[in-house]
Amino acid sequence: MDSFVTSVALIGVVIVVASLLSGVIERSGFPLVPVFLLLGAAIGPWGFGITDIGFHSPALHALAMLGLALLLFSDAVTLDTKQLRTRARMVWRLLGPGTLVPATITALTAWLLLGLSGPAAAILGAALASTDPVLLRSVLRSKALSETPRIALRLETGMNDVTLLPIVIISMLLMPGGHDASASGTSGTNIGRSLLGLFVLGPALGALVGWVGISLLASVRSRTGVRRDYESLYALGLAFTSFALAEAVGGSGFLAAFVAGLLVAARDVELCDCFLEYGEATAEMLLLLTFVALGTTLIWQGLSSLDWRVILFAVIALAARPVVLYPMLKGLNLNTRDRRLIAAFGPRGLSSLLLALLPVFAGIPNAEQIFTLTSVVVLLSVVVHGGGTAIFLRGSGLLNAAGPAGVLAPLSRVAAGAEPAPTTQVTPAAVPAPLTRGTPAEEPSPIRITIDEMRALQAKGEPVVIVDARSLRTYDSDPLEAVGAVRVSPDDPVRDATEKRLSQRATLVVYCA
C-alpha cells in the first residue's frame, strides 16, 4: 500500500478508535495507551503486515517532534502561576531532588549494571525520570483525588520534562558524533553554541511568540471578536510557530514551545476552554498516533533483550521515584494518603520514549540501545501504573456512579464547603409546574432555584440531576464538587449533555460558581 495512503488510513483509524472507546475507557479507568500499542502491533509485521515504522521513518520523526512540542506547550498553558508561587516548596522538591535524584539513581544503575557510557546512562536516567501525562490523565481528572496531590502531579508532569531536557541535550553533545547535532535537530560547531541556543535563544523566542501572540488575541477579540473554533486553533499556531522559529535559528524548539505556553499562562488572559482543550486533544491524538507507530515494531524490540540485568534495571528505574519522593514530601503538611498517592503515581510513558528518541533522530551511533532499554521500563510501567489507575478509580466509586441512562444518583449531600451558589435551571420543559413561570403557551425561561428548593424536589421523588458547568480552569483548581454532579462542558453544554445521555424527563440543576 502506498505510504501516503497508509499514513492517512492510520490517522483515521486512530481518531475513530479513540473517539468510540473514549466513553468506555473513561468509565473503566483502563488507559488508552495499551489499546493503541496493541493496535500498532496488529497493523505491524507481526500482525496484518500493513506497515512497519522504523527509527528513520519521517512520519515517526514528525509525530514525535510535534507531539512533544505541543505537549510541552499545553502543559505550560494549563499551569496556574499562582500555584507555582504559593507552592514553591513543593515545586522545588518535585522538580529538584524529586526528579534529579531518581534520574541519578537510574543513570548510575545503567552505568554499573548494564555497562552504558556515562553520557548514554545520563540520557537514559533523564528519560526515565519523566512522568507521563497521558497515563495520568484519568487520575488527574478524578474528583476522588484531593486538591494537593492533583496540583502536585499536574505541576510535576507539566514541568519535569523541561528540567530533564537539558540533561538529555548536554549528554548528547558529549557522546561520539553528538557535537554535530543537538536534540532538536539543530547543527552547531561546538558545545558552547549549542548551549547558547538551548538556554538563551530558544526560550527568548518562545517568550516573544507567547507574549505577542496572546496579546494580539486579547486585543483583536476585544475589538472585532474571534470565532470560538478559530480561537481553539490559535493554540496550535502559537505552539508550532514558537517551535519552528527556535529551530530555524539554532535554538531548542521544545523549550521555546514550553516558554511560549508559560507566557500565555502568566498573562492570565481569560481564555475559552476550547483554547486549552483543543490543544490538549490534538497533543493527545499526536501522542496516541506515536504510540501506534512505535507499537508496530520498535517498542517490542526490548523484550528480545530481556535478561536478569535488564529486568533488575527496570524494577530499580520504576522504584527509584517513590522510594526517593515519599520521604522527601515530609514537612509539606501532607497526610500519609496524599504522600503515597503523589509518590506512587509516576508512570513512564511516551514522554520518556520521546526523550530517548532524540539521540536516535540526531544520528548518534548506538543510540537505539537507549530507546530499547527505555521501552522495557515503559511497558512495565503501563502494566503497573495502568492497573493501579483502574484500581484507584474503582476504589473511589466513581466508575459505577452512572446508571444505564447516564443519570447520576440524586444529590444526597454537598462536599464540605462546596455549597453552590443559587443555580440556574435548564431544560425548562422538564421543570415541574410549580417552578415554571409564564403561561403554558409560553416557552418558559430558565429560572433560579435554591438548594432548599432542589432538596424539596428530591424529597418528593422528582428526578433531579446536578450539572457542573464551571469553566475548565475553575474546575481544575477547585477540589470541591457537589456530590453526584455530572460534568458538562460550558463551551458546548447541549452537545455534551446529549453525549452523556442525560435524562430528558429530569430536572437539570446547573451550577457554575
> Mean pLDDT lowest for which of 92-101, 347-356, 383-392, 504-513?
383-392
pLDDT digits (tens, 9 = 90+) for 436-487: 334 344 444 556 777 788 888 888 888 888 888 777 666 766 667 777 788 8
Residue ending a domain, among 377, 392, 407, is: 392
125 falls in which pLDDT band (50, 70, 90)?
A: very high
Kindly state the average pLDDT of the residues 200-225: 87
Q: Is residue 173 part of a domain?
A: yes
Q: Residues 427, 508: contact at Cβ < 8 Å?
A: yes
Residue 146 has a CB neighbour count (10 Å cut-off) of 14
Residue 402 lies in a domain: no
Q: Residue 316 in 3-state DSSP? A: helix
Question: Within this chain, do residues 135 and 56 fall inside the same structural domain, yes or no?
Answer: yes
pLDDT(216) > 50 = yes
Q: Say what the pLDDT of residue 402 is.
A: 36
- Please check whether residues 164 and 77 belong to one and the same domain: yes
- Beta strand pairing status for 423-426 and 448-449? antiparallel
On whether residue 407 sits in a domain, the answer given is no
301-322, pLDDT tens digit by residue?
888 888 999 999 999 999 999 9
Cell numbers linked to 345: 503515581
Characterize the bridge pairing of strands 464-468 and 423-426.
unpaired
Render pLDDT for 24-74 as a digit per residue (tens, 0 to 9): 766 665 667 787 888 888 888 888 887 788 888 887 888 888 877 887 787
Q: Does 310 share its domain with 229?
A: yes
Residue 185: band (very low, low, confident or very high) from pLDDT cuts 50, 70, 90: very low
Please report the pLDDT score of residue 405 as a whole number: 33
Q: What is the pLDDT of residue 106?
A: 96
What is the structure's pLDDT at 437? Answer: 36
- Report which DSSP code applies to 199: I
Nine cell digits for residue 190: 561546538
Whole-number pLDDT of residue 133: 74
How many C-beta atoms surround the C-beta of residue 2 within 10 A?
8
One domain, residues 349 and 490: no
Assess whether 433 and 382 both reside in one domain.
Answer: no
| Residue 354 belongs to a domain | yes
Look up the CATH number of the domain holding residue 507. 3.40.250
Average pLDDT on 372-376 reads 95
The reply to whether 486 and 358 lie within a common domain is: no
Q: At what angle do helices 228-248 and 202-223 cross, to 10 degrees?
A: 160
Question: Smallest Cα–Cα separation from 242: which of 204, 276, 268?
Answer: 204
Domain boundary among 392, 412, 445: 392
Residue 413 forms part of a structural domain: no
Domain CATH for 92? 1.20.1530.20
Do both 224 and 331 map to the same domain? yes
Residues 375 and 467 in one domain: no
- For residue 246, the tally of other CB atoms under 10 A from its CB is 30
Does 428 lie in the same domain as 358?
Answer: no
Strands 507-511 and 464-468, sheet pairing:
parallel
Domain count, the chain: 2
Same domain for 222 and 306, yes or no, is yes
Q: Is the pLDDT of residue 237 over 60?
A: yes
Confirm whether 110 is domain-assigned.
yes
Q: Is the pLDDT of residue 401 over 70?
A: no
Residue 100 within any structural domain of the chain? yes
Query: Do 452 and 381 fall within a single domain?
Result: no
* pLDDT for res 266: 79
For cell 522538591, the residue is 93
pTM exceeding 0.75? no
Radius of gyration in angstroms for the set of CA atoms belonging to the chain, rounded to a whole number:
24
User: For the residues 332-359, what does the mean pLDDT come to?
Assistant: 86
Q: What percent of the chain has pLDDT over 90?
A: 15
In a domain, 132, yes or no: yes
Instruction: Provide the domain limits for residue 221.
Output: 3-267+277-392
Q: What is the DSSP letter of 197?
A: I
Task: Say yes or no: 239 and 101 in one domain.
Answer: yes
